[in-house]
Amino acid sequence: MILCDKGLFTLHTKNTTYQMKANEYGVLLHTYYGPRISSGDLSYRIQYTDRSFAPNPEEAGENRLFSLDVMPQEYSTCGMGDYRLPSLELELPNGSRSADLRYKSFRLEDGKYALEGLPAFRGPEGETLVVVLEDAAAQVDVELYYGVLEDYDIITRAVKVLNRGGGTVRLRQAASLCLDFQRGDLDLVTFDGKHVLERRPNRAPLIPGVRSVGSVRGTSSHQHNPFVLLCDHDAGEDHGLCYGAMLLYSGNFEAAVERAQFDDVRLVLGIHPHHFCWPLEPGESFTAPEAALCCSKQGFAVLSHRLHRAIRERLIQNPWKGLPQRVLINNWEATEFTFDAERLMQIAKSAAPMGIGLFVMDDGWFGARDTDAAGLGDWTVNRDKLPGGLEDLVPRIKALGMDFGIWIEPEMVNEDSKLYRAHPDWAFQIPGRTKVRGRQQLVLDFSRREVRDAVYGALKAMLSSADISYVKWDMNRSLATVWSAGLPPQRQGEVFHRYVLGVYDMLARMRRDFPGVLIEGCSGGGGRFDAGMLYYTPQIWCSDNTDAIDRLRIQYGTSFCYPVGTMGAHVSAVPNAQTGRSVPIETRGVVAMSGTFGYEMDLGQTTGEEREIIRRQTAFFKEHSRLIQEGDYYRLTDPFQNGPYTAWEQVSPDRREALVSVVFGTAHGAPPFSTLCLKGLDPALRYRVNGGEPYPGDVLMEAGWPLPMPWDDYQSLQFYLAAV
């Protein structure tokens, strides 16, 4: 699906086409990305005209019709006459900070590329296109990597910068993706929020200038997500052209979009240039993270389906995929730090008869950990709480027919810990400045190998001491006072990125040494919910907010890029700890079921009626877990529109099954009649709704299904459709 012809490069997926061309001056121009078209040179679309104040490169001679400032480029630079967003900024030995890239060569490599130390989509058998650009004066090569996931309509991109000269070159910016559009009438959709209210879609038409979102917190953050959409003004769930771009990276990032003077648009996505400076000595190279593109001319739903399938099948490495689905119970909201072995056993014994198959011991089991002010860094069992240690507790849990999981926060340290007292220089602190704490903790310098080795050694000993099948990897603060004692002053601009590489290294080691352990990511909930983490952790705690009504919005926004099966979601006690709201347990179950599903409460405190509901919920989820987590996901309503209800649907790949979930809002007198039109069914098939009379698929999609009137606040319902 990669065609190369005299500087013209065309990449086809099943439904899309991507093309670029090196022109007569060696500039690699971007000619097309969109719905699939037949092969051909699309550079005819680029118009050449004399524009005032648009500089002309020397090679153009007296040709004033060619200027980098108006050309759609494949990888933009700065300082050479293009005043739009740059992708690459070099600081050369002479102090200049410009780059001038021209086409040098290309090569095809067998198979989809991988990136050392960085996450990347795994490709089927195929090829990688590498286009090499060079800055001859700087003696710097830039290799642009392209992968094609044909059946998923995904184009992947990565960048390697190589110093072939004799002096030190400093990278000030090295983005992973540049995408130029020869049109300005587009909307930008970003996914923004804050702790306990993550990934709210924000949509606005592009106006002249630059709009950017990003993070300088050391993680991808609760505030913004490294996934953005560009789309037609009228694009919706089922119609319109839309483009999705994601960065497979878990640290500082920036997604910047510029609508320039002639109504062209440029998207640049990559590592945030804030506090980034990477020196390249002669012969050294730097690899930027992978970015991925997807396009749909049929609206957001199809785009999401393609992204979900690619993430599930070509990114995530889930050791439990295909095995019986385990419903989880976590003790945190039931006990917080106050527990012992017998209290944990009480919770487990109350959960086991209800079909719950995984017990997770949360924070407080290690060191001197009775509050959040002590113990982090000391990954040995607190024998006051667990006298027999894990080697006693885990077999007792297993005897109930449950697997055992455990919570860790390895990137952090409390000053009141053995680790910090022995190695205070292992935490990020700037000499001569006061400390900046978050949740009474400091951040360990994972850019340093000796720090990672020590922490991982303790974790490995702990995980080897008992039969543990699940780890919740948490991270509860943003980075500040970032300075590493392991690097000289002139290399402190590397620390943020090296920290992320260190986290990936730790996760890769854990996956290698404990291949059967399922790792769930977490950062105060959804503060590091990105495709980079999903490469190592097949699921991520979606938000610390477990209120079912707030979760409707959080999970809705998350679903535009990320599959349901990646979203950690639990039923918690009411009144809810974040909102004080009380929602029926049936509704809490319906919402959490569109995620990994579990419970975060003391089930021993529930009524007999509630326990029976929980038994039915766990049995229903196990029966339909493959449909829920692997089916095509349809957003039937937008919860941000404050309608009378929120509805969504999962449809099996063969379209013979579907599950529809509905959650009503607050009840009002004399409610209107509501009819819900379904999606994704086969119009030629007939479906039984909850085992009743069969109805044709086209009838259910076009005429709809009547909903009952709500009889109280926050009621819910589910109906299962099976083809006959």
Active site residues: 530, 610
Task: Please report the DSSP string for 282-346 in residue order.
Answer: TT-EEEEEEEEEEEESB-HHHHHHHHHHHHHHHT---TTTTSPP--EEE-HHHHTT---HHHHHH
Burial degree of 616 (CB within 10 A; 0-12, 13-18, 19+) = middle
With CA atoms as reference, report the closest residue to 174 among 561, 497, 553, 560.
Answer: 497
SS3 content of the chain, % helix, strand, coil (to 5): 25, 30, 45
Which two tokens mark 570? Answer: 């639990």
Which two tokens mark 569? Answer: 């979601």
Q: Position 377: which residue type?
A: G
Residue 223 neighbours by CB under 8 Å, 6+ apart: 192, 193, 194, 215, 217
The answer to whether 16 and 298 have CB atoms below 8 angstroms apart is no
Which two tokens mark 645? Answer: 């209800």
User: Within 10 A of 551 (CB to CB), how many other CB atoms are there?
Assistant: 27
* CA distances in angstroms from 389 to 181, 366, 393, 416, 465, listed in the order given: 60, 10, 6, 22, 9
With CA atoms as reference, report the closest residue to 255 among 241, 272, 243.
Answer: 272
Q: Count of H helices and E strands in the chain?
A: 12, 38
Could you tell me the strand order of the sheet in which 632-635 lies? Answer: 632-635, 645-651, 657-664, 716-723, 686-689, 694-696
The answer to whether 132 and 105 have CB atoms below 8 angstroms apart is yes
With CA atoms as reference, report the closest residue to 534 among 382, 320, 311, 239.
Answer: 311
Q: Which helix (H) or strand (E) holds 258?
A: strand 253-259
Going by the DSSP 8-state scheme, the letter that residue 489 receives in this structure is G
Cα gap 232→206, rounded to integer Å: 11
Bridge partners (DSSP) listed for residue 143: 132, 160
User: Within 10 A of 273 (CB to CB), how many other CB atoms are there?
Assistant: 20
16: region left, alpha or beta (phi > 0 left; psi from -120 to 50 alpha): beta
Cα gap 14→1, rounded to integer Å: 9
Beta strands in 434-534 (DSSP E): 442-443, 470-473, 518-521
Cα gap 333→544, rounded to integer Å: 11
Cα gap 103→260, rounded to integer Å: 25
Cα gap 336→458, rounded to integer Å: 23
- DSSP H helices, 161-265, are none
With CA atoms as reference, report the closest residue to 320 among 433, 405, 426.
Answer: 405
